Amino acid sequence: MIVFEDVGFRYGRGPDVLKNLDFEVPEGAFTFVTGASGAGKSSLLRLLYLDAVPSSGRISMFGRDVTTLSRDEIAWFRRRIGVVFQDFRLLDHLTAAENVALPLRVAGAKVSEYRENVVEMLRWVGLGDQMDVKPPQLSGGEKQRIAIARAVVASPDIILADEPTGSVDPVMAERIMQLFVEMNRLGKTVVLATHDLDLAEQTGHPVLELQGGSLMARVAA
């Protein structure tokens, strides 16, 4: 589903942030991307979300070279990708339910078509009683779970998550990880970036370790 071939990436004329990356993520896999702060994890996810293009090399997703996609094709591809951002990116003036519904609204769906699905997603992440609450009144863990519900509400093929357990306590981190495991069991391809190598290795899933923008190791499941 995802293939990186000798991929490099830099911002403008700056130094390489990612260098000579070669790896594959099969359909339905659960793969961790680990590394210290500044190792290139977030930049890698940007490439996967089609928010940036590689400076060198080739990236294929869904059987297509992403550098050849038109703007309309990029928009269509993004509908197949759900993203859980490190900073949540919730809209404070919208309720939890309205935030979760955003991908469906953008796709042109009517409220009557997605209301039941949004309610189901919020119940799935344990926030069925917080549907009308706005983000400023919620804890970090609750915001993270709303972000997860928003990422999966449109049933994307790929789920990307950037440090989803970085701002919550260990108990909440375990609960959030279980949500991603459940998504994967439903057939979703999950790529999760974390600085916590121990957390990644405990799951038994493949691990891509970045160091200074280079791929240092792959631990097979």
pLDDT tens profile 115-144: 999 999 999 898 999 999 999 999 988 999
pTM, rounded to two decimals: 0.91
- The CA distances from residue 152 to 23, 71, 116, 137, 161, in Å, are 25, 23, 14, 23, 11
Condensed to tens digits (0 to 9), the pLDDT of residues 149-207 reads 999 999 899 999 999 887 777 887 888 888 899 889 999 999 999 987 777 777 788 99
**Residue range 36-70, pLDDT digits in tens:** 888 999 999 999 999 999 999 999 999 999 989 99
Q: For residues 24, 77, 179 and 100, what is the CA-based torsion angle, rounded to 10 degrees?
A: 160
Q: What are the strands, taking DSSP E only, across the chain?
A: 2-10, 16-25, 30-34, 56-61, 64-65, 81-84, 158-162, 189-194, 207-211, 214-219
